[in-house]
Amino acid sequence: MLIIGRPTQIVNLPVTLVPNTVWQPLPPNMLVITNIRSTLSNLWKTSLHSLDYVCGSWSSSWESDRAGSPARWAPLGLTTFIIHPAVVQPITVIVSGIQYPILTSWPPSGQEQSPFHTEIDQALQLYAAAYCRLKEVGQDAQEGFALYQAFLEIGQRLSQIEDRRDSLVWTKAIGAPTAPSTTSRR
C-alpha cells in the first residue's frame, strides 16, 4: 500500500444478509470489507475477540442473538464476516470494500493483465527472488540481500511519484528507526 498509495479499487455492493446466522459469506471478488451500511445507519465495526470476551455480558451465546437489523460487524478471515445480532429475515446492506485487482475466478489462468505498473511487477519479482535466496546461507544470502535492496529502492522511488494522499513514504531503511518520526510521535 505504501508503494502504490491508497487503493482506488473501492466498491460499494448491495449484499443480502442470510437470516438466522451471524456468519455471512464475503461478497465475491472482495479482498476486504471497510464499512457496512444498513438502511438505518453504519454498522459498528468490532472484532471476534470483542464479541467473545470484551462483551461478556452477552454471555457465550451471542451467536444466537436475533433482531430485525444488525448493530455491529466484524471481519473473519478471507471468506467470512460476522454480523451481530443475526437478522430474522433477509435484509440488504451496502458493503464497502477493496476489490481484488484481478477479477477472474481462482486459480488465475496466467493470461490476466497485471493492473500494476511494470516497475511494480519488476519489484515484486526482485522481492520473490530475494526471499528465496535469503532462506539459504552464504553467497546465496548475500546475493539475495542485494536483490532486496534493489526492491526497496524501487519501492521508495514509486512511493514518491505515485498519487499520494498522505505523508507516508516507503523507505529502504531496515530495522528500527534511529530518530523520532511523525509516526512514532503520535
Q: What is the dihedral of CA 85, 89, 92, 93, to 10 degrees?
A: -10
For cell 496466467, name the residue: 110
pLDDT at site 93: 94
pLDDT at site 32: 85
pLDDT at site 95: 93
Inter-residue contact 3 to 93 (CB < 8 Å): no
pLDDT at site 154: 85
Spans of all domains in the chain: 10-99, 118-161
Write out the H or E segment, with its range, that includes residue 143.
helix 139-161
Residues of the chain predicted below pLDDT 50: 1-3, 56, 184-186
For cell 462483551, name the residue: 55
pLDDT at site 55: 61
Inter-residue contact 149 to 127 (CB < 8 Å): no
% of the chain exceeding 70 in pLDDT: 72
pLDDT at site 92: 94
pLDDT at site 58: 59
Burial zone of 126 (CB within 10 Å; 0-12 exposed, 13-18 middle, 19+ buried):
buried
Which residues, other chains included, contact 186 with Cβ-Cβ below 8 Å and sequence gap of 6+?
none
pLDDT at site 185: 40
Q: What b/e readout covers 13-47, taking b as 16+ CB neighbours within 10 angstroms? A: eebebeeeebebebeebbeebeebebeeeebeebe
Q: What is the pTM of this model?
A: 0.58
pLDDT at site 16: 94
Inter-residue contact 94 to 118 (CB < 8 Å): no
Q: Give the distance between the most distant pair of CA atoms in the chain.
A: 64
